[in-house]
Amino acid sequence: MINGLEVIEVENITRRGSYLTDTGLGSWLFTTDHKRIGLLYLFTIIFFFSIAAVAAAAMRLNLLTPRGDLVQAETYNKLFTLHGVLMVWFFLIPSIPSVLGNFLVPLMIGARDLAFPKLNLLSWYLFVIGGLVALYALLVGGVDTGWTFYTPYSSTYSNTHVVIMALGIFISGFSSILTGLNFIATIHKMRAPGITWFRLRLFLWSLYATSVILVLATPVLAILLCLLAVERVFGVGVFNPALGGDPLLFQHLFWFYSHPAVYIMVLPGMGVVSELVSAFSRKRVFGYKFVAFASMAIALLGFLVWGHHMFVAGQSVYSAATFSILSYLVAVPSAIKVFNWTTTLYRGSIRLDTPMLYAVGFIGLFAAGGMTGLFLAALGIDVHVHDTYFVIAHFHYIMVGGMVTAFMGGLHFWWPKITGRLYPEFFGKLAAIIMFIGFNLTFFPQFLLGYLGMPRRYHAYPDQFQVYNVLSTAGASILGVGYLMPLIYLIWSVKYGKKAGPNPWDAKGFEWETDSPPPTHNFEVIPVQIEDPYNYPPIS
């Protein structure tokens, strides 16, 4: 580029400013800018994550001793309910879709905003209102049913604020639905010229699959919560057999939403990892179409496996067998993804910057989590480990080892784009390694605990389980340090980090062709996609 032109370019940027230039409170609360809404979500979910993490810390401390000396049984039950509800509905589900997805979907497809910017702002408000209602349930005394709300305990026997908590989740569900609708409409209708379906970034494929689940599954949750409230408040028998209801009906409906929701909580992470693996090995993701279709296959098959949560609940052996074989089928596309990411590395030009450390960590931890899922899908083994710490360890490997690791990787990767500043690389790597070690020390012992037979949701436990609980608590304290570090250095970097420039990673994609941070309307001129995505030049 000629020097003179570059100068003009810089002046232009200064004059028009970025999406962050306006600082008034009103400019944030009434914004329809997808990038700002993404940041609003980021602040909100960090707030909920912190509360849920404190609850987890209190639980782990309580479990240091077999008697459960720190808190009362009643308090412990409220802690794990709070931890589950907040982490699932107010952190994991909105984490990558609502933060990174909001920020990146228009940038990646060369649009100036999402299809429905005002609806997008409404989603955030519904999310905040839902979250505040859930916190209100906490402040007036909490809920002790577990995040699964199994009936008839939740509908009849619990003396806690079940209906308020359910209302909070109900409201936030509409936020999920609106976000899903917005992404589907945007990806269908607003792609820049040249972006055919098979030139769509893999992150967008994964978000598309996620959005389908958000739109189709969340209404079932809403209906379920209404039925629960109707039985609890008016005594209409739906789930309680004493009133003529069926307790298993609740579980069927709950898992018909909540199992697909598990994929809401991991598919976007897979999308992020596809982007990271490609950018840091400077290669097109191997088997692009297979990775894209694997996302869709997971989304669709994910609707057919809910019964694997009920193998010991009293369903017939034939439905159990059907759900078991379908659960094995849904594992196939996940395996395909792992193999394709691994092959992408072959003959790449690999840099192990912080985001890539997270991506590699994701592949390992997700694979471990997925493979322990194969144990749980095996009917004969599930009978033994169902409702034990084996299950806890398994889904934390997917949710934390997978989704949270991918979220951290994505946050570091796009941080220069979001803020215009680089984070400190040394501390970034250090935090990633500390998190990996802390995570494994926290959750690996729980596999052993589970196979030994320690049931979940126990406030106190027999002495024989103590040694693994101590290890797990020790790991949790390391994990806590790992989470605090980015909170500190990322905030520091907003002011003191090095200026990033438009494309610090020398990565491919529309988001790297605009300024960092991007101008309010993303692009001066709508870009045109003239090649396949990830079309990195040959290395040698």
Partner 1 sequence: MVGAYIIAQFQFGPDQASSLAGQVDALFLTLLAITGTILALVAVTILYCLARYRRNAQVDRTPIPDSSLPLETAWTVIPMFIFLGMFGWGATLYFKKNQSPSNATEIYVIGKQWMWKVQHLQGKREINELHVPVGRTIRLIMTSQDVIHDFFLPAFRVKQDVLPGTYTTQWFAGTKTGSFPIFCAQYCGTYHANMIGQVIVQTPQDYEEWLSSGTTEPAMALSGANLFRSLGCSGCHAVNASVRAPLLNNLYGSPVPLQNGQVVTADERYIRDSILQPELQIAAGYDPIMPSFKDRVSEEELTQLISYIKSLSKSTDR
The three-state secondary structure class of 152 is: coil
Closest CA to 86 of 118, 30, 120, 47: 47
CB of 200 to partner 1, least distance (A): 16
If the CB atoms of residues 30 and 197 are measured against partner 1, the closer one turns out to be: 197
Question: What is the distance between the alpha carbons of residues 143 and 135, in angstroms, rounded to a whole number?
Answer: 10
Strand partners, 499: 421
| Only segment of 17-25, 286-294, 427-435, 508-516 that touches partner 1 (CB under 8 A) | 286-294
- The separation between CA 121 and the C-alpha centre of its own chain, rounded to angstroms, equals 20
Under the binding rule (CB under 8 A), the answer on residue 252 touching partner 1 is no
Interaction residues for partner 1, span 193-232 (CB under 8 A): none
Q: By rule CB under 8 A, what count of residues binds partner 1?
A: 93
Under the binding rule (CB under 8 A), the answer on residue 237 touching partner 1 is no
| Only segment of 138-146, 162-170, 180-188, 491-499 that touches partner 1 (CB under 8 A) | 138-146
Interaction residues for partner 1, span 419-448 (CB under 8 A): 448
If the CB atoms of residues 518 and 533 are measured against partner 1, the closer one turns out to be: 533
CB of 342 to partner 1, least distance (A): 5
If the CB atoms of residues 114 and 360 are measured against partner 1, the closer one turns out to be: 360
Interaction residues for partner 1, span 467-486 (CB under 8 A): 467-468
Mark 372-401 with x for binding to partner 1 (rule: CB under 8 A) and - for no binding. x-xx-xxxxxxxx-xxx-------------
Closest CA to 294 of 267, 333, 255: 333
Q: Exactly one of 196, 346, 495, 530 binds partner 1 (CB under 8 A); which one?
A: 346
If the CB atoms of residues 429 and 457 are measured against partner 1, the closer one turns out to be: 457
Question: What is the distance between the alpha carbons of residues 185 and 196, in angstroms, rounded to a whole number?
Answer: 15
| Token pair 């693994």: residue | 468
Under the binding rule (CB under 8 A), the answer on residue 116 touching partner 1 is no
Report how far apart the first and last C-alpha atoms of the chain are (Å, whole number): 24
Q: Cβ atoms within 10 A of the Cβ of 431, count?
A: 27
CB of 383 to partner 1, least distance (A): 6
Concatenated DSSP letters of 401-444:
IIIIHHHHHHHHHHHHHHHSBPPPHHHHHHHHHHHHHHHHHHHH
| DSSP collapsed to 3 states, 81-132 | HHHHHHHHHHHHHHHHHHHHHHHHHHHHHCCCCCCCHHHHHHHHHHHHHHHH
Identify whether 504 is preceded by a cis peptide bond (ω within 30 of 0).
Answer: no
| Only segment of 98-106, 174-182, 207-215, 310-318 that touches partner 1 (CB under 8 A) | 310-318
Interaction residues for partner 1, span 53-82 (CB under 8 A): 68, 73-74, 77
Q: Exactly one of 8, 321, 481, 487 binds partner 1 (CB under 8 A); which one?
A: 321
Q: Cβ atoms within 10 A of the Cβ of 289, count?
A: 10
Under the binding rule (CB under 8 A), the answer on residue 365 touching partner 1 is no
Interaction residues for partner 1, span 478-537 (CB under 8 A): none
| Only segment of 6-14, 20-28, 90-98, 329-337 that touches partner 1 (CB under 8 A) | 329-337
Q: Exactly one of 343, 433, 437, 444 binds partner 1 (CB under 8 A); which one?
A: 343
CB of 474 to partner 1, least distance (A): 14
Q: Cβ atoms within 10 A of the Cβ of 135, count?
A: 19
With beta carbons less than 8 A apart as the criterion, state whether 284 and 532 touch.
yes
With beta carbons less than 8 A apart as the criterion, state whether 133 and 164 touch.
yes
Residue 477 phi/psi, 5-degree rounding, is -70, -35
Structure tokens at 500: 């990033």
CB of 65 to partner 1, least distance (A): 13
Interaction residues for partner 1, span 4-63 (CB under 8 A): none
Under the binding rule (CB under 8 A), the answer on residue 329 touching partner 1 is yes
If the CB atoms of residues 127 and 311 are measured against partner 1, the closer one turns out to be: 311
If the CB atoms of residues 179 and 344 are measured against partner 1, the closer one turns out to be: 344
If the CB atoms of residues 43 and 157 are measured against partner 1, the closer one turns out to be: 157
CB of 74 to partner 1, least distance (A): 5
Q: Exactly one of 451, 478, 492, 502 binds partner 1 (CB under 8 A); which one?
A: 451
If the CB atoms of residues 23 and 540 are measured against partner 1, the closer one turns out to be: 540
| Per-residue CA distances from 504 to 279, 324, 399, 408, 417 (Å) | 11, 46, 29, 18, 9
With beta carbons less than 8 A apart as the criterion, state whether 337 and 294 touch.
yes
